[in-house]
A and B are shown apart, each in its own frame.
Chain A
């Protein structure tokens, strides 16, 4: 208790010195948490966006459907099993009918993946309400901004869509762009045109059929789904999880580098501060403080420094961390153009383990860099310490 009182007095007495040390440590807290949070966010955000815009609670696939192989689209459709159909009727799920198509924007020909989706669904974050049928428009089409850019299409533009129906007959009609969506999931954007499900079913002569069904979060898995295959969220994001896992060593290296940089800053500030106090340590020893108590006092000051730095980081940098955690940081480059699923803005993710491990590790660093120099000085002859002969 006596040492605690002296440590408190030393810390609050030396306003400038304490402020500088605490500030340096709190900046270290902030930088490590922020940069690591951005790195984690970069990986986590892509996963979250995929879940929000594509997967929701999970999916039921037609057994022949392989999203990586467009040749399967022609065969991967059927009438939905009754239990899945019931989910759709209850608006807990929606069906998507997938087929290959060609579009002719401005006289050019472009291959496209045509997806029929239930207008007005609210299960995934795609603005499908814009596809509500307008009698004046033959085929209302929703596309993403990248697709619009590549095809040079604008809202209101009409173009020809050609497709192969279930009877293996080519047919064509006029589609009109009713909306251009901004989505961070390039898989919904590039090469995709979205039309109303019922329209797609009638165009393809596949009444009441779908390729896959996406259901809302929180629903139990239906067991009796015929030959349709259930895929949960974990399955759907397995590739991303594998990527994240593969990137973990990289993330750990980066975290270590950040910690090392922070440690160097703290080390400089603490070492300078303690070695400048060599004469003070000598005086304390002359007044009868034992070596172990001197070391304990300065280590305790380091611990209190870390504690104050945590509070300062929370007060000074907490709002900044929160702001970027909520709003993200817009990226100057659209990585979707490169086919990389990176968000258009980086939203840092601060996991509890990141915050706690950073605070614990930095506090340990502060304790070590407080302990080592004070131990070194306390082992000097008091007469040398009194003369301020302490040196790094």
Chain B
């Protein structure tokens, strides 16, 4: 049985203007990602992994090449269409959590559902379930400032998965966490990947989380150096 691709990238080039010249962040990147994959874009700082993640997420645009995400050609969509794709089909996890500081855990997790006009009764059910997945039932009414980094990142995960997106993009999700919290976060994400059909793409240079990945794509100087599938991840 063939699996559907959620990402199809061909000959992607991304350049940033610097002064009168430009800096090439990604060059000739070809990448396909099937449904349900658990992939890591790894490489040193400046290798282009965050740029690639942003382009996949429609937060940034390519200079050249074609980027198809969830059967939509990202380079041919308007800002509003990209926003709609993100709202309905994507979840984001950021290195610095990006939780709304004045919202409680519950309210932060509820936000994507509100943006998707989900009915109140459904929202309550889904938010409660997402918070249970990440084990923050006792922190539902806490605000980000009252929680540890690990708890904040678990909240961000709950927010990213609450609307059951087809694609979850995580930019250095463990960079601000200690080893124990990093492992906890990856266990949660790994479990969600197994239980849901969601595809996961991580941008990371954190060695600790490599053992969870089922496919590792090495980037350096904006190029894919190698693309390796792991049949049995170390922490599976």
Contacts and interface: CB of A to CB of B under 8 A. Distances in A.
Q: Are these two chains actual partners, yes or no?
A: yes
A9 B103 contact: yes
B200 interface: no
Contact of B57 (A10, A280, A283, A286): A286
Contacts of A283: 94, 98, 100
Given A381-B59, A383-B59, A383-B60, A289 B98 contact: no
A13 B92 contact: no
Interface in B91-127: 92, 94, 98, 100-103, 107, 111-112, 114-117
A286 B92 contact: yes
A291 interface: yes
Interface in A289-303: 289-292
A6 B114 contact: yes
B80 interface: yes
Leading 6 A-B pairs by shortest Cβ distance: A288-B87, A13-B102, A288-B86, A14-B102, A382-B59, A283-B98
A285 B80 CA distance: 10
B87 A287 contact: yes
16 contacts: A9-B102, A14-B102, A17-B102, A283-B100, A286-B94, A287-B92, A287-B112, A288-B84, A288-B85, A288-B112, A289-B87, A289-B115, A292-B80, A382-B59, A383-B59, A386-B98
Contacts of A14: 101-102
Interface string A1-38: 01001100110011001000000000000000000000
A382 B111 CA distance: 18
Indicate the size class of the contact surface on chain A.
Answer: 20 to 34
B175 interface: no
B167 to A, nearest CB: 13
A282 B94 CA distance: 12
Contacts of B98: 279, 282-283, 286, 386
Contacts of B159: 287
B59 A286 contact: yes
Nearest to A282: B98
Given A9-B103, A382-B59, A386-B98, A288 B88 contact: yes
B28 interface: no
Q: DSSP majority for the A interface?
A: helix
Interface of B: 54, 57, 59-60, 79-80, 83-88, 90, 92, 94, 98, 100-103, 107, 111-112, 114-117, 159
A288 B83 contact: yes
Contacts of B117: 2
A381 B82 CA distance: 13
A386 B171 CA distance: 12
B115 A2 contact: yes
Nearest to B171: A386
Contact of B100 (A2, A280, A285, A291): A280
Given A2-B115, A283-B94, 14 more contacts: A2-B117, A6-B111, A13-B100, A280-B100, A280-B101, A283-B100, A286-B59, A287-B92, A288-B112, A289-B87, A290-B79, A381-B59, A382-B60, A386-B94
A381 B57 CA distance: 13
B103 A287 contact: no
Contacts of A290: 79-80, 83-84
Contacts of B115: 2, 287-289
A386 B169 CA distance: 15
Residue among B88, B114, B115 facing the most chain A CB atoms (10 A cut-off): B115
Nearest to B59: A382
Residue among A5, A17, A286, A289 facing the most chain B CB atoms (10 A cut-off): A286
Contacts of A10: 100, 102
Contacts of A17: 102
B146 to A, nearest CB: 13
Contacts of A287: 86-87, 92, 111-112, 115, 159
B121 to A, nearest CB: 15
B31 to A, nearest CB: 19
A383 B114 contact: no
A14 B59 CA distance: 27
B50 to A, nearest CB: 9
B46 to A, nearest CB: 15
Contacts of A288: 83-88, 90, 112, 115-116
B54 A383 contact: yes
Nearest to A10: B102
Contacts of B102: 9-10, 13-14, 17
